[in-house]
């Protein structure tokens, strides 16, 4: 992990040449806009403010990368599982982009060696590596476009550092996680059946809305009510874990 220091209102990254070397080794190409990638690895603990008041860290790139990763995975899984239901595809994507999996992916790819932070070695930042992964994808999207970013994330990230079968086989009871969260925070949890399609020989499809304190948080669909509740809980848990 790199550190950042300031002298006379200027910001310096220790081992800048090493940062560039490691970045090129990770990406497999020389970045066109290096400053974007430097920003992608500046944790908020190392934020600095420009004279015009703009704060520099990786949070905006993280926001963009989150959306790009969702798009990449939606396209990838759609073609990887041509016969899969919407519920299965949604569940699979959510398992890949959850905080634990993205943190594992970022750490496995060596992003910990690129992050600029003022955290001490004894400190632990929640979702540090997963957030850096999202910010890196956001930076690459701006620098190289969607097609190049997709190829990098799938080939150098997903296929090389993530066992998709293991991710899929690790069944998580998201409904229990949401229930425990609501009980701990003394919040009211409700599942409401919004729509039921099919019947009479057709495949049934249930649509469930999950609400916390009467505020809709997420929806889920499945071939059974239980599956739809799990998908809705998984979508809600992904939102909650990012806050």
CATH number of the domain enclosing 42: 1.10.1520.10
206, 126: one domain: no
Catalytic residue among 52, 62, 75, 134: 134
30, 90: one domain: yes
Domain boundary pick from 169, 199, 215? 169
pLDDT digits (tens, 9 = 90+) for 13-45: 556 778 888 899 999 888 888 889 989 999 888
What number is the average pLDDT over the span 206-228? 90
Q: Which residue has the higher pLDDT, 150 or 8?
A: 150
Tell me 32's DSSP state.
Answer: S
Q: Where are the beta strands (DSSP E) in the chain?
A: 4-7, 10-13, 48-49, 55-56, 189-199, 202-212, 215-222
Among this protein's residues, is 134 annotated catalytic? yes
14, 111: one domain: yes
Please state the φ and ψ torsions of residue 60, each to the nearest 5 degrees. Answer: -70, -40
151, 209: one domain: no
71, 165: one domain: yes
H helices within 145-215, ranges in order?
146-151, 159-161, 164-169, 174-184
39, 89: one domain: yes
Range of the domain at 153: 4-169
The whole-angstrom distance between residue 143's C-alpha and the CA centroid of its chain comes to 20
149, 191: one domain: no
44, 84: one domain: yes
Catalytic residue among 38, 62, 66, 221: 66
80, 154: one domain: yes
39, 150: one domain: yes
pLDDT band at 123 (very low <50, low <70, confident <90, very high): low
pLDDT digits (tens, 9 = 90+) for 50-92: 666 677 889 999 999 999 999 999 999 999 999 888 778 887 8
Q: Look up residue 202 and give its two tokens.
A: 């057709």
- Yes or no: say if 138 and 68 are a contact pair by the CB < 8 Å rule: yes
Among this protein's residues, is 165 annotated catalytic? no
Three-class SS of residue 214?
A: coil
Domain count, the chain: 2
CATH number at residue 190: 3.30.160.20
143, 128: one domain: yes
146, 65: one domain: yes
Tell me 108's DSSP state.
Answer: H
pLDDT band at 203 (very low <50, low <70, confident <90, very high): low
């Amino acid at each position: 992990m790199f550190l950042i220091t300031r002298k006379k209102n200027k910001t310096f990254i220790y081992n800048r040449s090493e940062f560039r070397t490691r970045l090129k080794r990770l990406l497999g190409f020389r970045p066109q806009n290096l400053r974007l990638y430097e920003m992608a690895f500046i944790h908020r603990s190392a934020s600095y403010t420009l004279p015009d008041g703009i704060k520099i860290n990786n949070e905006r790139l993280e926001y963009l990368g989150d959306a790009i990763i969702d798009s990449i995975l939606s396209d990838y899984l759609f073609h990887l599982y041509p016969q899969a239901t919407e519920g299965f595809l949604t569940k699979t994507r959510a398992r890949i982009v959850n905080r634990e999996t993205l943190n594992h992916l970022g750490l496995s790819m060596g992003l910990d060696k690129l992050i600029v932070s003022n955290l001490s070695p004894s400190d632990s930042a929640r979702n540090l590596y997963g957030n850096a992964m999202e910010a890196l994808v956001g930076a690459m999207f701006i620098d190289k476009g969607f097609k190049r970013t997709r190829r990098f994330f799938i080939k150098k990230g997903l296929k090389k550092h993530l066992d998709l079968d293991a991710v899929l086989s690790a069944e998580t009871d998201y409904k229990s996680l949401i229930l425990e969260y609501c009980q701990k925070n003394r919040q009211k949890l409700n599942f409401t059946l919004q729509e039921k399609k099919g019947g009479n020989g057709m495949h049934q499809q249930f649509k469930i809305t999950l609400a916390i304190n009467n505020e809709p948080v997420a929806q889920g669909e499945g071939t059974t009510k239980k599956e739809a509740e799990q998908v809705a809980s998984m979508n809600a848990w992904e939102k909650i874990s990012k806050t």
